[in-house]
C-alpha cells in the first residue's frame, strides 16, 4: 500500500517551493493534482500523482529575491535578540554595493518574508544569505542539504608548540558533538595562524567547539563561500542581489 503524503510536503520534495509557499498557493487555488484544482489545506496525495502549479505561482516566485550580505560583527542573523540588531537592518538602498551587477531595483517590500537561509554567529563575519525563495532556503538549510560552506578561521594554539598533525586529522574527521559523529570536513592551514574549514553541516558554534576540542582558540571567523557562491569583493556591511547565473 503506497502511503499518502501531505500535498505541501510533496510539493517541497519535488522542489516546486517551500511548504509555506505551497500552503499559500493551495489556498489561492494555484495547485492542481492530476489536472484538478486542490484548494483545501492538509490535502494528501499519492507519490505517483502529478502535481502542477498555475502560471501565477511561477510568476510570483520569479519576483522573489535572494540577497548576499557581508555581515559585520555584532549583528545577529535572524530575529533581534538581547538588544542586538538583525542583519536585515543592513538591507536598504544606501548600503547596496555600488558594484552590484544586478539590474534588480530595490524596494522596501522586498524585506517582507526575507529570511536568513542559515545562521552566522554574532561574533562571526562574512557571507550571509537572506531569501524570499523557499527553494533557496531548502537548498541551503534543508535536512538533506549537501551544500558546502567555507570559512577562514584565525586561531591561537593554547598548548606548547604547534597543533599536532593527528589533531588536524581529527578536525577533518573523528570528532563528536552533541552525542553524534560530525560529518567529514576539509580543514587545512592557510598560513601559520589561519585555517580553512569547509563543512557540509552547521551545528551551533560548530567551528569554535571543534577548535576547542583540540586546544585551539578562535580569534576570528569569516565565511567566504556557500556552495559555488563566493563573498568576493563585497564590502563589510554592504549587500547585493544573487545574480540569475549564480547557483549554490
Q: Could you list the mean pLDDT of each consecutive 10-residue stretch along the chain, which spans 248 residues?
A: 85 83 91 94 92 85 87 88 87 96 88 87 95 85 84 94 94 94 95 95 91 96 96 97 90
> What pLDDT does residue 1 have?
55
Question: What's the confidence (pLDDT) of residue 137?
Answer: 84
The reported pLDDT for the residue numbered 204 is: 86
What is the spatial distance between Cα 68 and Cα 235, in angstroms, rounded to a whole number? 11
Separation between Cα atoms, residue 28 and residue 30, nearest integer Å: 6
Q: How many helices (H) and strands (E) are present in the chain, helices listed first? A: 6, 18
What pLDDT score was predicted for residue 209? 96
Give the Cα separation of 124 and 144 in Å (integer): 25
Task: Give the residue from 65, 64, 71 showing the smallest Cα distance to 89.
Answer: 71
pLDDT at 223: 97
CB of 69 closer than 8 Å to CB of 91: yes
Please state, in angstroms and as integers, the Cα–Cα distance from residue 200 to each residue in 96, 117, 214, following that order: 29, 14, 20
From 82, 99, 100, 121, the catalytic residue: 121
Q: What residue ranges define each of the domains in the chain, with the CATH number in brackets?
A: 5-62 (3.10.290.10), 66-144+229-241 (3.30.70.580), 149-226 (3.30.2350.10)
245 catalytic residue (yes or no): no
Amino acid at each position: 500500500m503506497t502511503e499518502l503524503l501531505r500535498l505541501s510536503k510533496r510539493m517541497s520534495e519535488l522542489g516546486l517551493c517551500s511548504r509555506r509557499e505551497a500552503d499559500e498557493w493551495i489556498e489561492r487555488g494555484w495547485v492542481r493534482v492530476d489536472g484538478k484544482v486542490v484548494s483545501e489545506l492538509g490535502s494528501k496525495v499519492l507519490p505517483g500523482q502529478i502535481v502542477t502549479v498555475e502560471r501565477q505561482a511561477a510568476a510570483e516566485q520569479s519576483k522573489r529575491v535572494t540577497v548576499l550580505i557581508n555581515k559585520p560583527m555584532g549583528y545577529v542573523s535572524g530575529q533581534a535578540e538581547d538588544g542586538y540588531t538583525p542583519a536585515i537592518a543592513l538591507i536598504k538602498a544606501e548600503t547596496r554595493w555600488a558594484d552590484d551587477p544586478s539590474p534588480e531595483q530595490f524596494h522596501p517590500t522586498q524585506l517582507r518574508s526575507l529570511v536568513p537561509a542559515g545562521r552566522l554567529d554574532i561574533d562571526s563575519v562574512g557571507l550571509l544569505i537572506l531569501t524570499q525563495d523557499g527553494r533557496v532556503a531548502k537548498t541551503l538549510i534543508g535536512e538533506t542539504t549537501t551544500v558546502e560552506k567555507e570559512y577562514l578561521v584565525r586561531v591561537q594554539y593554547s598548548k606548547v608548540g604547534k597543533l599536532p598533525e593527528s589533531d588536524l586529522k581529527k578536525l577533518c574527521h573523528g570528532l563528536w558533538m552533541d552525542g553524534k559523529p560530525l560529518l567529514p570536513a576539509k580543514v587545512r592551514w592557510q598560513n601559520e595562524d589561519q585555517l580553512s574549514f569547509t563543512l557540509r553541516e552547521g551545528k551551533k558554534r560548530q567551528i569554535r567547539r571543534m577548535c576547542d576540542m583540540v586546544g585551539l582558540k578562535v580569534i576570528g571567523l569569516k565565511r567566504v563561500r556557500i556552495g559555488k557562491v563566493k563573498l568576493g569583493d563585497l564590502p563589510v556591511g554592504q549587500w547585493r542581489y544573487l545574480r540569475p547565473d549564480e547557483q549554490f
